[in-house]
A and B are shown apart, each in its own frame.
Chain A
Amino acid sequence: MITHHEVLETNEMIQHENLDVRTITMGISLLDCMDSDTEKLKTKIYDKITSSAKDLVKVGDEIGNEFGVPIVNKRISVTPISLVTSGHGQKGCIEVAQTLDKAAKEVGVNFIGGYSALVQKGSTKGDIDLVRSIPEALSVTERVCSSVNVGSSRNGINMNAVRKMGEIIKEMAFLTKDNNAMACAKFVVFCNAVEDNPFMAGAFHGVGERDRVINVGVSGPGVVKAALEHVRGADFETLCETVKKTAFKITRVGQLVALEASKRLGVPFGIIDLSLAPTPAIGDSIAEIFHEMGLEHAGAPGTTAALAILNDNVKKGGVMASSYVGGLSGAFIPVSEDHGMIDAVNAGALSLEKLEAMTCVCSVGLDMIAIPGDTPASTISGIIADEMAIGMVNNKTTAVRIIPVLGADVGDTVEFGGLLGYAPIMPVNKFGCEAFIKRGGRIPAPIHSFKN
């Protein structure tokens, strides 16, 4: 029988430590919607999404209510759109983006991911059309999220695509300059992208997936921080055990919610993404965990080690709590979505270079980082190339979601609103890399022997 103490502990996590299920994401394959006629394609896509996900928000809210745990977001991921719109040209791609936006609004989800292309080895005509359409597509829609996978450990890095990414990020920033470059916040560049990620902006429904699937992303940095408060000053063994036990409990809630959602929606359960995803709220921060571990600020020497401990033990604790683990799984380190990270940047403790080092051991990469609007496209491509190289060599997913804000410079702050938070503009290394990026071609896949 459940004890009074256990009930109090769970409700303390929910009410005071920001425990929530961050997202229930329904993956929907659009491969069976393909049609040579753009109008028919759009109709099929709209009908499939709105019929598959018509109860998603209602069921999510019901489950949240019955278990007494907030389910913050209900979202949809779809097949990488470049596969579906191939042959429809750039205009067709944009029309499909608007269809996705309309379908998302109809079913009430706040984001729909998968306006994506996988070009790690090379691009088809359909991929090129989609990639070129991304800036306009993200500026004329509200809820569509986009991603491009430009590298993998198996294939190397498509540097033509990396060059193009710098250009389209600048274009997106220009097209949404009156809205703090919002389009850039909905766009991610990946190396080793995963097919079952439930988190935005990088979610898409991979081609190896079944027709429809329920993936759930858990969260709870505040719960980990609160647990660590009880072992302040203890050794690393105690620290790691505490993180593991907490991650287990958090993940079990995610597993329960995922199974219940799967049952009620009649859609198979896919994976739990064991992530610590911060929000701008106080007490829901990864940087606060670092502080609790003993660092004055995120970015201080020791931060990479602290993040490695956190990431590894979240996985160790979470894996046993769920029957299927997948997605990105680990700790996210977005700047704008974590008030502790923002404070660290403002205090001069956290630089872009330190964040890059941290991405070697975190779950994803450079995330929600605002930079000066006059940063050249080649420099953005250079930052992306560095991040992709970390992913490629280390066999991990890395990503870049970077936001050049036109008219803003170091010292300014931009507001994105809601879960996306606000961000101080971070300084970028001023030395050029244009000739390097201009080379074009592909970086060959790395050797995975002789590890040093």
Chain B
Amino acid sequence: MKGIITVVGKDSVGIIAKVCTYLADEKINILDISQTIVSGFFNMMMIIDLSTSGHKFEKVENDLIALGKEIGVDIRLQREDIFNSMHRI
């Protein structure tokens, strides 16, 4: 299963590093990553492969939300299907 992580918040040092460290620890592969800064706000999107993770979707999602709170940004994890459904015929 593929998931989309979005990270939005005030820019600071090490946001990507912390998210990537978590994913690496959980054996979750990153397939694509893009990032922009708009008016000082950090905006990142990652496409990840959840099939290698031993955990359920919900656990990874909750961990990421908690990590977001820790570093002061808003992190969301959603299944890729919703974006494919909406934007691809």
Chain A 248-259 interface 0/1 with B at a Cβ cutoff of 8 Å (1 = within): 010011011000
- Whether A6 contacts B85 by the Cβ 8 Å rule is no
Q: If A2-B47, A65-B61, A66-B57 touch, does A11 touch B85 (CB 8 Å cutoff)? A: no
Name the B residues within 8 Å of A9 (CB-CB).
87
A440 close to B (CB within 8 Å): no
B29 close to A (CB within 8 Å): no
Q: If A2-B80, A7-B4, A7-B6 touch, does A255 touch B85 (CB 8 Å cutoff)? A: yes
- With beta carbons under 8 angstroms apart, the residue of A1, A66, A249, A255 that contacts B79 is A66
Chain B 73-88 interface 0/1 with A at a Cβ cutoff of 8 Å (1 = within): 0001111111111110
- Whether B76 contacts A68 by the Cβ 8 Å rule is yes
Name the B residues within 8 Å of A361 (CB-CB).
none
Name the A residues within 8 Å of B85 (CB-CB).
252-253, 255-256
Q: Give me 9 A-to-B residue pairs in the complex whose CB atoms sit less than 8 angstroms apart, sorted by A's number.
A: A4-B34, A7-B6, A8-B43, A11-B6, A62-B58, A66-B58, A66-B79, A68-B77, A256-B82
Name the A residues within 8 Å of B86 (CB-CB).
6, 10, 249, 252-253
- With beta carbons under 8 angstroms apart, the residue of B47, B58, B76 that contacts A11 is B76
Chain A 40-51 interface 0/1 with B at a Cβ cutoff of 8 Å (1 = within): 000000000000
Quote the shortest CB–CB distance from B1 to chain A (angstroms).
9
A residues near B (Cβ < 8 Å) are 1-2, 4, 6-11, 62, 65-69, 249, 252-253, 255-256
B residues near A (Cβ < 8 Å) are 4, 6, 32, 34, 36, 43, 45, 47, 57-58, 61, 76-87
- Whether B79 contacts A7 by the Cβ 8 Å rule is no
- Whether B78 contacts A67 by the Cβ 8 Å rule is yes
- Per the bound structure, the CA–CA distance linking A8 and B78 in Å amounts to 12
- Per the bound structure, the CA–CA distance linking A433 and B19 in Å amounts to 70
- Whether A2 contacts B87 by the Cβ 8 Å rule is yes
Quote the shortest CB–CB distance from A127 to chain B (angstroms).
42
Residue in A7, A67, A69 with the greatest tally of chain B CB atoms within 10 Å: A7
- Whether A2 contacts B4 by the Cβ 8 Å rule is yes
- Whether B81 contacts A67 by the Cβ 8 Å rule is yes
- Whether A7 contacts B45 by the Cβ 8 Å rule is yes
Name the B residues within 8 Å of A1 (CB-CB).
32, 47
Name the A residues within 8 Å of B77 (CB-CB).
68
Quote the shortest CB–CB distance from B74 to chain A (angstroms).
10
- With beta carbons under 8 angstroms apart, the residue of B32, B36, B43, B81 that contacts A256 is B81
- Whether B83 contacts A2 by the Cβ 8 Å rule is yes
- With beta carbons under 8 angstroms apart, the residue of B36, B58, B76, B87 that contacts A6 is B87
Quote the shortest CB–CB distance from A308 to chain B (angstroms).
26
Name the B residues within 8 Å of A10 (CB-CB).
82-83, 86-87
Name the A residues within 8 Å of B4 (CB-CB).
2, 7
- Per the bound structure, the CA–CA distance linking A9 and B86 in Å amounts to 10
- Whether A68 contacts B82 by the Cβ 8 Å rule is yes
- Per the bound structure, the CA–CA distance linking A11 and B5 in Å amounts to 11
Quote the shortest CB–CB distance from A4 to chain B (angstroms).
5
Least CB separation from B78: chain A residue: A68
Quote the shortest CB–CB distance from A90 to chain B (angstroms).
48
- Per the bound structure, the CA–CA distance linking A62 and B59 in Å amounts to 12
- Per the bound structure, the CA–CA distance linking A1 and B87 in Å amounts to 11
5 other contacts beyond A7-B4, A8-B45, A65-B58, with CB at 8 A cut-off? A2-B47, A8-B6, A68-B76, A68-B82, A252-B85
- With beta carbons under 8 angstroms apart, the residue of B6, B36, B78, B83 that contacts A66 is B78
- Whether A253 contacts B82 by the Cβ 8 Å rule is yes
Name the B residues within 8 Å of A252 (CB-CB).
85-86
- Per the bound structure, the CA–CA distance linking A65 and B84 in Å amounts to 17
Least CB separation from A66: chain B residue: B79
Name the B residues within 8 Å of A249 (CB-CB).
86-87
Quote the shortest CB–CB distance from B9 to chain A (angstroms).
14
Least CB separation from A249: chain B residue: B86
Least CB separation from B62: chain A residue: A65
Name the A residues within 8 Å of B80 (CB-CB).
2
- Per the bound structure, the CA–CA distance linking A2 and B78 in Å amounts to 13
- Per the bound structure, the CA–CA distance linking A77 and B50 in Å amounts to 36
Name the B residues within 8 Å of A11 (CB-CB).
6, 76
